[in-house]
Amino acid sequence: MILPPFELHQPTTVDEAIELATQLRKDGVAFDWMAGGTDVLPNYKNRLNARDHVIALGRVDELTSIGKNSIGALARIEDVARNSRVQSDWPTIAKAASLISSPPLRNLGTVGGNLLLDTRCYYFNQSEFWRDSKGYCLKADGDVCLVVPQKETCYATYSGDLAPILLVLDVELEFRGSNGARRVPLRSFFEYDGIRRFEKAPDELLVRVFVPSTDKALRTDYLKLRARDTIEYPVMGVAMGLRTKGGTVADLRVAVTGSEAVPLYYGDLGLGGATVDEATADAVQAALLDRITCYRNVPFPPGYRKAMGGEFGRKLFLDLSGKA
């Protein structure tokens, strides 16, 4: 499938990339950032919101490093999954990274790309031919959402694997742009809309993800539902952090991906201080079933995905509290 023509920019430093983006923005030219290309290029091949200019970041080496308290936005997902520091300090980040797509795609894909992944939908991720026959949707070329028919909000599904555990760990994102640098907590970054997705100026570039130090007693894990054990995006994913003290819940953090247009952080589900037992595991499950909403726009029926979200929450609670 041939890509639509575009002008390609290949900066080698962050400064050069920002300068290019600022200039394009000033000139009123629409452009896309491209890190690994594994999300942008299939969408471009399907003629999904392709722009006339692309800034490819493959030569910006300064953003690939993995440090003591941060991960560069252009660190390759496979490098993160196999990095010994990540495996020991943030094992669930390594696990979530290892569950992303397939090895050759993890060799291309980046942490920043996975975090800012475009939302996915049965009516969106299709060829132009398919979309032309069915009718275009709100997210590309149409004016009505084909999942929840209205003209305001896109309900495409957020499908990144890293976001839930990064929400649990309360990371901060550092952006660089023409106005300098800014840091945003991931928990307040996303905005509920499958098109807008988050608050970020077009010429701002995600440069690093800062992971705060957490209590070593906080145990974390991530479970993912997908159609095959490889290649596929999550159609439900739950990350949990749990610290117990004296048989009660001292710190509980739950986040979900693959359900709605953004990854959602549910905090402690109102279960702080609860006794660590089967009844609380049931309460985790019930609280998730209360909160999770799924739409019919990715593989598996919404009811099944939601039920699995509840099951994952229950299992994670039992596993992490040692009650399994």
Binding residues for other proteins (CB under 8 A): 1-8, 10, 36-38, 41-42, 45, 54, 56, 58-59, 78-79, 82-84, 101-105, 107-108, 229-231
**Which residue's CB is nearer to other proteins, number 124 or number 175?**
124
Q: Which helix (H) or strand (E) holds 173?
A: strand 172-177
Match 């041939």 to its residue by tokens: 2
Cα separation values, 24 from 47, 101, 300, 320, Å: 21, 32, 41, 49
Cβ pair 265, 233 in contact under 8 A:
no
> Taking the complex as a whole, how short is the minimal distance between the CB of residue 215 and other proteins, in angstroms?
27
**β-bridge mates for residue 137, sequence order:** 140, 141
> Taking the complex as a whole, how short is the minimal distance between the CB of residue 58 and other proteins, in angstroms?
5
**β-bridge mates for residue 141, sequence order:** 137
Helix H segments across 218-268?
none
Report the distance separating Cα 143 and Cα 195, nearest Å. Answer: 12
- If we measure between CA atoms, which residue out of 22, 10, 4, 13 comes closest to residue 202? 22
Burial (CB count <10 Å: 0-12, 13-18, 19+), residue 258 = buried
> Taking the complex as a whole, how short is the minimal distance between the CB of residue 90 and other proteins, in angstroms?
15
Count of CB atoms situated within 10 Å of the CB of 23: 13
**Which residue's CB is nearer to other proteins, number 1 or number 144?**
1
> Taking the complex as a whole, how short is the minimal distance between the CB of residue 270 and other proteins, in angstroms?
39
> Taking the complex as a whole, how short is the minimal distance between the CB of residue 22 and other proteins, in angstroms?
21
**Which residue's CB is nearer to other proteins, number 107 or number 179?**
107
**Which residue's CB is nearer to other proteins, number 55 or number 288?**
55
Structure tokens at 21: 């983006």
Structure tokens at 96: 């979530």
Burial 294-314 (b: 16+ CB within 10 A, else e): bbebbebebeebbbbbbbbbb
- If we measure between CA atoms, which residue out of 174, 170, 200, 43 comes closest to residue 119? 43
**Which residue's CB is nearer to other proteins, number 86 or number 147?**
86
**Which residue's CB is nearer to other proteins, number 110 or number 280?**
110
**Which residue's CB is nearer to other proteins, number 1 or number 181?**
1
* Chain-centroid distance, C-alpha 295: 17
**Which residue's CB is nearer to other proteins, number 35 or number 274?**
35
Cβ pair 254, 317 in contact under 8 A:
no
> Taking the complex as a whole, how short is the minimal distance between the CB of residue 40 and other proteins, in angstroms?
9
